[in-house]
Amino acid sequence: MFNLKPKPFSGGVHPKGYKELTQQQSISRSFTPDRVYLGMQQRNGSMLSCLVSVGDEVFKGQLIAKGSNDMTVPLHSPVNGKVVDIKPYLSSHPAGIKSQTLVITCNGEKQWGEDFPPSDYQKLDHEQLVQRVLDAGVVGLGGAGFPSGIKLRLARKAKVHTLLINGGECEPYLTCDDRLMQEHAAEIIAGINIMLKAIGANKAIIAIEDNKPDAIAAINAASEDFSNFSIKVVPSLYPMGSERHLIKAATGIAIPPGQLSTAQGILVHNVATAKAIYQAVRFKRPLIERVITVSGDAIESPANITVPIGSLVSQVIAECGGLKVEAKRMIAGGPMMGQVLPSPFVPIDKSIGGLLALSEDKINHRNSQDCVRCGNCVKVCPMGLMPFQMAAHSNHDDWQGAQQFGLDSCLLCGACSYICPSSIPLVQYFQHAKSNINAQRSMMQKSNLARQLTEARQQRLAKEAAAKKAAKASKRKRPARARVSQGETNE
Amino acid sequence: MSKINPIAAPHTHSGTSTTNIMYLVVLALLPAALYGVYLFGLPALTVLASCIVSALIAELACLQLQGKRSLAALDGSALLTALLLAMSLPASTPWWIASFGCCFAVTLGKQVYGGLGHNPFNPAMLGRVMLLICFPVELTNWQAISVPDIGAQGIMLNQAWLGIDGISAATPLANLNQLTNWQDLALGKHAGSLGETSALLIALGGVFLIWRGIIRPYIPLALIGGLFVPATIAHMLSPNDYASGIAHLLSGGAMLAAFFIATDMVTSPTSPRGQLLFGAGCGLLIWLIRSVGSYPEGVAFAVLIMNACTPVIDHYLRPKIFGAQSLFKRNKGV
Amino acid sequence: MIIVSVVVLILIGASLGALLGWASKALKVEGDPRVDELEAMLPGGQCGQCGEPGCRQAAEAMVDGRLSPTSCPPGGNGLAASIAGLLGVEVSNDPDAVPLVAVIDESNCSGCTRCFKACPFDAIVGATKQMHTVISQVCTGCKLCEKACPQGCLTMQAQTIQLNTWQWPKPNIA
């Protein structure tokens, strides 16, 4: 257990991979749901405005909803069919919150509604490239779901020189990026070239964990012709897929806390995003489907599968043979950072990269005990924090104390909860603290707004009162004069 | 809707547990404890057994009184406390003194603070210090070793081994100047507490714990350094007044403290820098108490003093946040 | 001699008097400066939900310790935390306190304009004999409009939880 290989960053854990469940199977493309459910609210709370109404026929790739600005990416119909309902429906949020959802039935046809001839990205300038990416509704497929076009635009402004492609995929079970690299290496490389042009960088590094030899070989073969591409094999260590840690492992640069990677001239994108960007620029095809890993010990036949955005989890699982044992928990994403699904009848959104159904045995849930200050969490924290201190402060609602211990730097990677011998739900304490801090911040904004409004109102009322007074004064003068004149006439 | 209480990630666990850790530490301590029994005979066994039994009974009683799950008495923490206390006692300690010390350690050393994880001081050392103050004679009456002869007639157990007629002897710490040679010290062939004599077996147990990732090497290394460096310097300046660094390291409870007592996870700091400071402080204090203080052995006092500093150390000596340039820059805001 | 001493004493008296007079002006303390600071933090809607007639009085009461920092519903937990920080006291937030928002049952609204005249935040829009509506992003849930409505068609409802406003609960630990 004395690992003599130097670790690229301190901390980290080695959870058991279970990647063999799906690693050897090629991506299945046959799945078509009979209806899709598209949420109109994005995770950041912004609402999309719907461009279609119930009863409309829509085609695959048709723009059906758009946001008020570029931060809210547009939504396209993933299938050919008919809008049958617009109603509040469960989202994939762990608390089972409902949001306005568009329901489209699918008529089974698979062709795109509009076919655009392939365009040569070399002839487009960087702003046109970014616009195409934005119009296609591409978001980061690694999980964060940030609009990719915006990311490219900001990177250009920050004069980024290196594009780092994240093929880390450090989460256990997930192999969709691995398979994507093996099967679509050429498209990924083309997507990277497009991104390089869009941001004006000249160097691309593709970082892949050393447990994916086939993907490394495929990417190597596809990128041979490009001298500005390099492949960096990084050790498999969780959380290698975190942006900061991948940068450290691939380039040796540590991004200071509170700073964005672009400030150091590095932009990180996921391999799946690279493929989506290629599709968006080359064929003007919007992001309407993605490859996800459906795995876990409760799934009958685990697989990597292309699913249209908005497919129900239950249908995807049925496509993979259903469940063979009782699934204690269903998870969107990997077991380390994924969110628990409130029900199997929720739609898959753009940022879900995996679907796991785990039995009780694999979850290994135990009741938590008191902290014994063993320091394991400090040892494994990849950000160099003291999770047990942050949790203690969060437990007493002392958000500031938690922030002083570095809560803002916390990635919520879960390494601490994973290792904790007392099984303390550390991550949940941090989620709790973080969401409270966010809520406080928005309350502060709201009360500042309220303050401004009431001050404006008071000024307005004062003005109105002054105007009324003035009007009264002038009115009083006039009747007086009238009376005088009346009196004069009477006399 | 807000009443829904979802479970946060991660949805998997490494499988470690505190019980697991406790029993691994006990396992690492066993060779040295058994060697103590081999050296000192039945009296040592009596001390060990009375400590373990009384600690478990005290733990069970405390858990019952608090209405907690009584099975938690078997989580290994009481057993570990008992083992550590027993190993730091002379083999000739009467059983009732050992039992009393263990009950004190478990109840007033741990459970009154709220149980495992909440005690600010190492319970075993608290018990040890209480016994030393209340029963100074019994606690400094060192039994000479009485190794059974293994000869042609089988194992010959002498009277001392059977505890009938112990011979007392001075521990090397009492007159460190007349030095037993260091091989004897390392192998434990000298008088002393029942589990502290063999530095080699203790160090092996410690290396096992480091290998299994139960403890980190910072505290042992810093403690050894903190004891060895000042002792060596003083020895070089005045060899007649001060014992050598090797003698300090290999005698008394220094090795046991380095690998098992100071590394007690509840009462030691968690960050690498904090652990280095903690270990070095323990080592330095051990040397100071032994050389300058009036007690021949200072391990228990040194560890308890540094235990008191642990919260402060943990508050100020934090690990470096990933990517932070300078430690000073970050600490300013704190 | 006597004249000299008289003059000296008068001079001393006059200069000391001048010093005192200057000091009383220059070093004047107007109440507790924290009251002003606190008043600046409060929403300023003069809604009276805290039991004080207005925000200035509420600030004074909070500084005196007569009023808890959590007694301002429009400010919510965020404001409570920053007030507590300013005054250096501990607060325990009520986890069940849900932010409220005014909702007008538009079918019953007669357009009397009383509610939007009562709203200190201009969060209700409408005109005479016209239907009124609440801008929920601005509404602080101060309940002043509820009291003003003669039709009873304006009710306070708990804000519905959205994807972005949901908060992780604290883990339940046995």
What's the pLDDT tens digit per position in B71-115?
Answer: 888 888 999 999 999 999 888 889 999 999 999 999 999 999 988
Same domain, C79 and C109: no
Residue C164 domain-assigned?
no
- Strands C154-158 and A49-50, bridge-based pairing: unpaired
- Strands A203-209 and A229-234, bridge-based pairing: parallel
Same domain, C146 and C112: yes
Helices in chain B by DSSP H: which ranges? Answer: 18-40, 42-65, 77-87, 95-107, 123-134, 136-139, 182-187, 199-211, 218-237, 245-250, 254-256, 272-291, 299-316, 327-332
Q: Give the residue from chain A lying closest to B8, CA to CA.
A: A428
Fold of A19-30+117-291: Rossmann fold (3.40.50)
Report pLDDT digits (tens) over B16-63. 889 989 999 999 999 999 888 888 888 889 999 999 999 999 999 999
Domain count along chain C: 2
For A125, list phi and psi in degrees, rounded to 5: -90, 175
Contact criterion met (CB < 8 Å) for A363 and B13: yes
Distance CA C78, CA C81 (A): 5
In contact, A192 and A204? CB cutoff 8 Å: yes
Residues of B in contact with A338 (CB under 8 A): 9, 11
Q: Is B2 part of the contact surface with chain C (CB cutoff 8 Å)? A: yes
pLDDT at residue A489 in the model = 45
ipTM of the complex: 0.85
Which of A430, A348, A355, A343 has the alpha carbon at shortest distance from A97? A343
Q: What is the distance, to the nearest Å, from the Cα of residue C79 to the centroid of all Cα atoms in its chain?
A: 9
Q: What is the distance, to the nearest Å, from the Cα of residue B20 to the centroid of all Cα atoms in its chain?
A: 19
Between B and C, how many residue pairs show a Cβ–Cβ distance under 8 A? 11
Neighbouring CB atoms inside 10 A of C3's CB total 7
Residues of C in contact with A44 (CB under 8 A): 164
pLDDT by 10s per residue, chain A, length 491: 445 567 888 888 999 889 888 888 888 888 888 899 998 888 777 888 888 989 889 998 899 998 888 888 899 999 999 999 998 888 888 888 888 899 999 988 888 888 888 888 888 888 889 999 999 999 988 777 789 999 999 998 999 999 999 988 889 999 999 999 999 999 999 999 999 999 988 899 999 998 899 999 999 998 888 888 999 999 989 888 888 999 999 988 888 888 888 888 999 999 999 999 999 999 989 999 999 999 999 999 999 999 999 999 999 999 998 888 888 889 998 899 988 988 889 999 888 889 999 988 888 888 888 899 999 999 999 999 999 999 999 988 888 889 989 899 999 999 999 999 999 999 999 998 998 888 888 877 877 887 788 888 888 888 988 998 888 888 776 665 555 545 444 44
Same domain, C59 and C104: no
Domain with CATH 3.40.50.11540 in chain A: 19-30+117-291
Interface of A with C in 353-372 (CB under 8 A): 367-368
CATH of the domain at C104: 3.30.70.20
Full residue range of the structural domain in which residue C78 is found: 33-87
Residues of C in contact with B114 (CB under 8 A): none
Same domain, C37 and C63: yes
Number of H helices, E strands in chain A: 14, 16
Distances, alpha carbon B217 to alpha carbons A320, B220, B229, C80, in Å:
48, 6, 18, 46
Among residues C87, C115, C131, the one where a domain terminates is: C87
- Strands A162-167 and A203-209, bridge-based pairing: parallel
Between A and B, how many residue pairs show a Cβ–Cβ distance under 8 A? 170
Residue C62 domain-assigned?
yes
Q: Is B1 part of the contact surface with chain C (CB cutoff 8 Å)? A: yes
Residue C129 domain-assigned?
yes
CA B41 to chain A, closest CA, distance in angstroms equals 35
Report pLDDT digits (tens) over B140-175. 777 777 666 665 665 666 666 666 665 666 666 655
Residues of C in contact with B1 (CB under 8 A): 160-161
Distance CA B146, CA B40 (A): 6
Residue C167 domain-assigned?
no
Domain with CATH 1.10.1060 in chain A: 368-491
Distance CA B307, CA A38 (A): 58
pTM of the entire predicted model = 0.84
Q: What is the distance, to the nearest Å, from the Cα of residue A353 to the centroid of all Cα atoms in its chain?
A: 10
Distance CA C44, CA C56 (A): 8
Q: Is A71 part of the contact surface with chain B (CB cutoff 8 Å)? A: no
Helix (H, G, I), strand (E, B) or coil at C70: helix
Residue C115 domain-assigned?
yes
Helix (H, G, I), strand (E, B) or coil at B294: coil
Helix (H, G, I), strand (E, B) or coil at A183: helix
Report pLDDT digits (tens) over C98-118. 677 888 887 778 888 888 788
Q: How many CA atoms lie within 13 A of C8 on its CB side?
A: 5
Task: Specify the CATH number of the domain A368-491.
Answer: 1.10.1060
Nearest to B1 among C161, C168, C172 (CB): C161
pLDDT at residue B38 in the model = 85
Same domain, C113 and C151: yes
Neighbouring CB atoms inside 10 A of C160's CB total 14
Same domain, C135 and C104: yes
Distance CA A99, CA B176 (A): 78
CATH of the domain at C46: 1.10.15.40
Residue C11 domain-assigned?
no
Interface of A with C in 437-476 (CB under 8 A): 439-444, 446-447, 449-451, 453-457
In contact, B187 and B243? CB cutoff 8 Å: no
Distances, alpha carbon A203 to alpha carbons A193, A226, A255, B160, B310, in Å:
10, 10, 19, 79, 48
In contact, A350 and A139? CB cutoff 8 Å: yes
